[in-house]
């Protein structure tokens, strides 16, 4: 209990020079009169993470389907993840909803001049499910992405309505290939059909956005030059707050502050290493960007979990790759380049190598899910009250098609998704149908259509399992 008996506002922040820290949900912020929330109120607090990985999956090939390299062989609840690239999600199967065999038709070429441009329009389609206008100018047009629809409706009562993050370089200006603006490959988040949102690659920029609100660039530089932690600037405010908190809240606050400090230390270590003069694997990357893909992704996931815990924002779009990237992922157990391996030439051995990269990419997600699962939120966890979308707008990248595209959801979306199910949709089903289902889970109950959808996907598990097609 809050010792003084006073209600602590949910938007309470700790402030110091160049630093502003939102707090996690504490018992002191939940007087008995508001602990019982309505279903609608809980739905407005669902957190959303939309993650795109480019180049489809090995499981979208005919050989991959036969080997269950992406989707499990069985639908329903008794599915086996062991052969699939989703195997690392097994500990979270009760929170996992796999929707397989969906197509992204709006990423395909509609006219002759568009043929060959799949890599350069696909990312813009993932969260909009709309067909991009072919242009290399500023007159881009595709659609409003689902993360932004959610942010515009439910994100306005948080300090930051939404954030857009990425791992690869997405700051290429001007025109890309096949008559498409690089804008389409640079962003998956669109505030309107004509307004793409920039993706942030540098964890330092994300950290300062979350914990430096109101600070001037000079104040932020001073804090870093003095080699002080964010928490050093907030020590007085932290001490004053703790005096008014009960034991449980003090423990929760300490745990949260420890997490903030640990993420800050990791960013500082990356910056120190990258400024040492030693050769980098990513020589052109910002100083705060780790050369290690897994370290970079984990720091970004840590920042997302902290933002959700403090309710600083409820919406993230996260782009894990860039089309046509030839980055290598030694930690995957295969050292070949990403793009060239995705063009597997229908060779079984190369498809299996590509599956190793797919497995490695999906294997990053449990790190976030574990963080969310271990963070209390109301009468459950952040994972219970989150919707994580992971997928690709491409299917078999060797032939640049957009059929049988990889997609899964994680989290219970505040009770709207039951999880623990694999649904294989009929051939020709638009991925937009699954995205429409996601919008319904996010509280858009009256939304009748999204993109080129033909109806929502029924995620009710059948009584018996059947063989899946993809």
112 alpha-carbon distance from chain centroid = 34
Helical H segments across 327-428, by residue range: 338-342, 348-362, 365-373
Ramachandran bin of 5, using left for φ above 0, alpha for ψ from -120 to 50, beta for the remaining angles: left
Indicate the pTM of the whole model. 0.93
The predicted pLDDT at position 435 comes to 98
Domain ranges across the chain: 1-36+216-288, 39-201+292-441
Q: Is the pLDDT of residue 224 over 80?
A: no
Mean pLDDT of 162-174: 85
Q: Is the pLDDT of residue 214 over 60?
A: no
Q: Which residues pair with 410 in a beta bridge?
A: 96, 388
Q: Is the pLDDT of residue 258 over 80?
A: yes
Lowest mean pLDDT among 2-16, 91-105, 221-235, 432-446: 2-16
Q: With bands split at pLDDT 50, 70 and 90, how would you rate the model's confidence at 3?
A: very low
The predicted pLDDT at position 35 comes to 45
Q: Is the pLDDT of residue 4 over 60?
A: no
Residue of 414, 189, 129 whose CA lies nearest to 319: 189
Lowest mean pLDDT among 10-14, 171-175, 278-282, 433-437: 171-175
Mean pLDDT of 48-67: 98
Q: What is the pLDDT of residues 14-50, one digit of tens each?
A: 887 667 888 888 888 865 544 444 434 443 489 999 9
pLDDT mean across residues, the chain: 90
The predicted pLDDT at position 174 comes to 64
Which fold does the domain 39-201+292-441 belong to in CATH? Alkaline Phosphatase, subunit A (3.40.720)
Ramachandran bin of 271, using left for φ above 0, alpha for ψ from -120 to 50, beta for the remaining angles: alpha
The predicted pLDDT at position 278 comes to 93
Q: With bands split at pLDDT 50, 70 and 90, how would you rate the model's confidence at 220?
A: low
Q: Is the pLDDT of residue 417 over 60?
A: yes
The predicted pLDDT at position 231 comes to 86
Q: Is the pLDDT of residue 467 over 50?
A: no
Q: Is the pLDDT of residue 171 over 80?
A: no
The predicted pLDDT at position 2 comes to 36
Count other Cβ atoms within 10 Å, centred on residue 22: 23
Distance between CA 84 and CA 61 in Å, rounded? 13
Mean pLDDT of 389-395: 98
**Tokens standing for 382?**
């952040």
Q: Is the pLDDT of residue 67 over 80?
A: yes
The predicted pLDDT at position 38 comes to 43
- State the DSSP string of 231-289: HHHTHHHHHHHHTTS-HHHHHHHHHHHHHHHHHHHHHHHHHHHHTSS---SSTTS-TTS
Run of H or E residues at 123: helix 118-126
Lowest mean pLDDT among 84-88, 289-293, 359-363, 459-463: 459-463
Residue of 238, 64, 155, 131 whose CA lies nearest to 442: 155
Mean pLDDT of 165-184: 86
């Amino acid at each position: 209990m809050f010792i003084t008996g006073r209600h602590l506002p949910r938007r309470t922040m700790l402030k110091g020079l160049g630093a502003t820290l939102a707090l996690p949900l504490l018992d002191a912020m939940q007087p008995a009169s508001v602990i019982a929330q309505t279903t609608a109120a809980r739905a407005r607090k669902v957190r959303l993470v939309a993650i795109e990985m480019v180049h489809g999956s090995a499981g979208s090939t005919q050989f991959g389907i036969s080997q269950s390299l992406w989707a499990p062989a069985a639908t329903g609840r008794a599915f086996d993840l062991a052969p699939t690239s989703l195997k690392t999600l097994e500990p979270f199967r009760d929170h996992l909803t796999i929707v397989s065999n969906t197509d992204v038709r709006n990423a395909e070429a509609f006219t002759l001049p568009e043929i060959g441009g799949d890599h350069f329009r696909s990312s813009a389609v993932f969260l909009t499910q709309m067909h991009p206008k072919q242009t290399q100018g500023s007159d881009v047009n595709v659609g409003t992405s689902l993360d932004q629809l959610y942010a515009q409706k439910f994100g306005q009562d948080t300090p930051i309505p939404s954030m857009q993050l990425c791992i690869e370089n997405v700051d290429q200006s001007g025109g890309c290939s096949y008559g498409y603006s690089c804008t389409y490959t640079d962003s998956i988040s669109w505030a309107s059909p004509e307004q793409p949102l920039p993706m942030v690659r540098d964890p330092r920029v994300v950290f300062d956005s979350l914990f430096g609100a109101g600070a001037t660039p000079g104040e932020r530089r001073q804090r870093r030059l003095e080699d002080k932690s964010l928490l050093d600037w907030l020590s007085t405010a932290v001490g004053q707050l703790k005096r008014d908190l009960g034991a449980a809240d003090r423990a929760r606050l300490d745990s949260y502050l420890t997490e903030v400090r640990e993420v800050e230390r990791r960013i500082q270590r990356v910056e120190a290493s990258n400024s040492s003069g030693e050769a980098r694997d990513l020589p052109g990357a910002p100083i705060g960007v780790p050369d290690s893909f897994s370290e970079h992704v984990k720091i970004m996931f840590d920042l997302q979990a902290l933002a959700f815990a403090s309710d600083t924002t409820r919406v993230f779009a996260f782009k894990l790759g860039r089309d046509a990237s030839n980055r290598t992922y030694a930690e995957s157990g295969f050292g070949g380049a990403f793009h060239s391996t995705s063009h597997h030439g229908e060779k079984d051995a190369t498809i299996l190598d590509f599956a190793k990269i797919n497995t490695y990419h999906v294997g990053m997600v449990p790190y976030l899910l574990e963080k969310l699962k271990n963070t209390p939120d109301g009468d459950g966890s952040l994972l219970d009250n989150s919707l994580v979308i992971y997928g690709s707008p491409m299917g078999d990248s060797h032939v640049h098609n957009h059929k049988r595209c990889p997609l899964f959801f994680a989290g219970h979306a505040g009770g709207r998704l039951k999880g623990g199910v694999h649904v294989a949709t009929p051939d020709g089903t638009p991925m937009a149908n699954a995205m429409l289902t996601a919008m319904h889970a996010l509280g858009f109950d009256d939304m009748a259509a999204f993109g080129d959808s033909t109806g929502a996907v029924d995620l009710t598990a059948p009584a018996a399992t059947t063989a899946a097609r993809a």
